[in-house]
Structure 1
């Protein structure tokens, strides 16, 4: 019976809508002021086109003179140029409507007022929706505002709302109407757009604050996002009429799932919070973890993004950074000491070798000369060479370690070659003792066997 009553109600509303359409068509066909208003509305289109041709060059010149504007202001400027024709039409339509309201009966300008309202609504919706970055949400908000504004301008919004509210369906013990679902969808779309704008603004303000460390900036941004989107979720649930106390069962199920299958996920989340709080690593730090060497690009809720010198991006779980040994080359400061080992022959003066090595290293770009200049020490007497260690400091490990070592090695080679210092290589001497049975088979070049 309820379904039959709903169908009967729907048929009555459809019949009413059809009668209204027929009535409006007959009103336009019949001679009178309604036809005159229709002709005025069409004539305003041509007048708006001419006005746009006059105003467009001036708006273009003004737009090109703008500089230093934010992205949202530039988007509004582009939208202004795109909607210039409609703006001209709205201005002319409202001017004609106001004049006719004063000069003649109000009913003789009713349709012009409706047309002006609809065009103005179109312009307002176009500018408001440009603030919504997400294309899907922008489309939902635009359609919702446009449909509601059109119904309101035609003075049928209450009738349509009453009809939609009569169409109901149930989810468990909760009874929902189509009107409630549509209102909740529009509310959620608007709240998500506002939440996105608010979090973007808050994130920008936090990242520009130099008094907050990079790791705390990331933590604050995540906290703001969780808070804002959590509020949106709660409002959406309440808008649909669901009882929030029913979430207790869902929370218990989620807790059970965490206990059995989400240990790693939760561990990574908790490890990420610990990393942000103890400031052990932060964006821009240069770290080594196993065979991975690179700088931290971003800190996520589940992983840390590490970019290496060869352009590879490693997503390292937060738990690995807590439980494994991590070398942070720039934790407290960016001073990094590098060691190079080399050897020279016993015939070279070691005092001169140390001096040449220090001078060669000091002449390489990126090697510090103050406050920690390069030093060179003898480390031992090898089988074929005197062994040395050359130590120098740099402040930019993010620019690479292998390349600076290679440049210092090359400077040593050039300096030693120019000053007659030789790099020995292992040599072996074979002696044939008297009375041995070893016979040599090698012959001199050109000799006959």
Structure 2
């Protein structure tokens, strides 16, 4: 048994022995740090029972009560004054609302710091130590509460706020080294990579900060790009999308590199993701690539009027996966980009906004066709939205069973205003003009004869 044990010890590699020693040392260090923090917390609680610490707590409570009274006094006045600032920008009003909601904390910070400075001058530092800690915590919480309002996402704002408050408390209490050591000791070994809680928190903070900066830069740049009239709408969308991908991707990889994460392993991961995209996400990738092609070839752009199958409307926005098309009845269709590439799309305003519409009608054989054509053209010219410099034309297209058939062609320049309504207005103008000039619009008539009785008069149907 002893020989077997000694042989197993000899088989153990130096790396395993070193890892075990390091793991044991890290565990012991974490226990020592935890016990040290516990003892400091117990000493701090016992210290609050001392007279010079108790009256500092009393002073802080008194200042908090005074700040609450000041809020009750000046809060309604500030609220009434804010109601008179209707012409101010929205961001300034939101900032005032934020200050109004935290008015008690603002008064408390304003009151406590002069008290701390006075006590530091007239007493020993230990007589104002608790007050200085409370003042620092209140100030840090106020600043963090104001700055986190810049984050629009409520969940992210809450996470950043509470993590910021926790870290500010640790720094003000001078426990940053102990907490860092404790968090770093809680780690996992994944292959050759060591992931600790401290490393993960660092990565989250750095990446979140870089993402916020990337979002701010992309939003500012996007507004400037969209306001540039020299850039076409499709190129504006392409530039904004490219800028967003570039900035967010750079923020993610720079954040990982900043906290010491080895990025060489991401090459294998990217290969696996590529295989997964090739097999499982073919449609998604096809729509993404189709969206880029649409932006590059400028076949459609926001504001264009298109027809795709039974869908007729104007393009509201170009997305990475789909195109938003709004119809005149208020419906919004999300059409995949691939359908616009592979299907037949009618773009009514691709090269220009001029659209020609055709309507058909017929008149009786007793009406002069020359007069009918003149009256139809004049009636179409009198309809709003019908272009006058592209004059309407009217032609005979056939001699029907009971009518002479005509086609009336006219042009409009605003297809976004609808096609059915303008056709209806032209038909109504034709009806009024024909009624005024006694031009009849025939309808089919049939005669029914009963066989076997020649004296039976025909019955019209």
Task: Mark yes or no: TM-score above 0.5.
Answer: yes
Q: What residue number does 1:284 align with?
A: 303
Q: What residue number does 1:206 align with?
A: 225
Q: Is 1:386 paired with 2:404?
A: yes
Counting matched residue pairs gives: 439
**Secondary structure at the counterpart of residue 230 of structure 2:** coil
Q: What residue number does 1:367 align with?
A: 386
Residues 223-262 of structure 1 aligned to structure 2 (within 5 Å): 223-239=242-258, 241-262=260-281
Task: Find the aligned partners of 2:375 and 2:149 in 1 and give their Cα distance.
Answer: 66
Q: What residue number does 2:46 align with?
A: 26
Q: CA deviation at 1:227?
A: 0.8
Q: What residue number does 2:418 align with?
A: 400
Task: Find the aligned partners of 2:312 and 2:36 in 1 and give their Cα distance.
Answer: 73
Q: Which moved more, 1:191-200 or 1:68-77?
A: 68-77
Contact 2:27 2:185 in 1 (8 A): no
Q: What residue number does 1:187 align with?
A: 206
Q: What residue number does 1:312 align with?
A: 331
**Secondary structure at the counterpart of residue 302 of structure 2:** coil
Structure 1 unaligned residues grouped into runs of 5+: none
Over the residues paired in the alignment, what is the CA RMSD in angstroms? 2.5
Task: Find the aligned partners of 1:333 and 1:188 in 2 and give their Cα distance.
Answer: 46
Task: Find the aligned partners of 1:65 and 1:418 in 2 and give their Cα distance.
Answer: 61
Q: CA deviation at 1:262?
A: 4.1
Change (3 A) 1:72 1:195: farther
Contact 1:137 1:189 in 2 (8 A): no
Q: Which moved more, 1:244-253 or 1:289-298?
A: 244-253
Q: CA deviation at 1:204?
A: 2.0
**Secondary structure at the counterpart of residue 13 of structure 1:** helix
Contact 1:140 1:189 in 2 (8 A): no
Contact 2:33 2:178 in 1 (8 A): no
Per-residue deviation, residues 219-255 of structure 1 (Å, max 9, x unmatched): 1110111011101221343255432222222232233
Q: What residue number does 1:152 align with?
A: 171
Task: Find the aligned partners of 1:12 and 1:259 in 2 and give their Cα distance.
Answer: 52
Residues 347-362 of structure 1 aligned to structure 2 (within 5 Å): 347-362=366-381
Task: Find the aligned partners of 2:407 and 2:260 in 1 and give their Cα distance.
Answer: 75
Q: Which moved more, 1:213-222 or 1:157-166?
A: 157-166
Q: What residue number does 1:163 align with?
A: 182
Q: CA deviation at 1:347?
A: 0.9
**Secondary structure at the counterpart of residue 373 of structure 2:** helix
Q: Which moved more, 1:112-121 or 1:204-213?
A: 204-213
Task: Find the aligned partners of 2:125 and 2:418 in 1 and give their Cα distance.
Answer: 79
Task: Find the aligned partners of 1:226 and 1:164 in 2 and give their Cα distance.
Answer: 33
Task: Find the aligned partners of 2:68 and 2:279 in 1 and give their Cα distance.
Answer: 68
Task: Find the aligned partners of 1:307 and 1:373 in 2 and give their Cα distance.
Answer: 31
Change (3 A) 1:108 1:281: same
Residue of 408, 411, 425 corresponding to 2:429: 411
Q: What residue number does 2:54 align with?
A: 35
User: What's the TM-score, normalizing by structure 1?
Assistant: 0.90
Q: Which moved more, 1:58-67 or 1:294-303?
A: 58-67
Residues 122-161 of structure 1 aligned to structure 2 (within 5 Å): 122-161=141-180
Q: What residue number does 2:10 align with?
A: none
Q: CA deviation at 1:442?
A: 5.5
Contact 1:295 1:308 in 2 (8 A): yes
Change (3 A) 1:263 1:7: closer
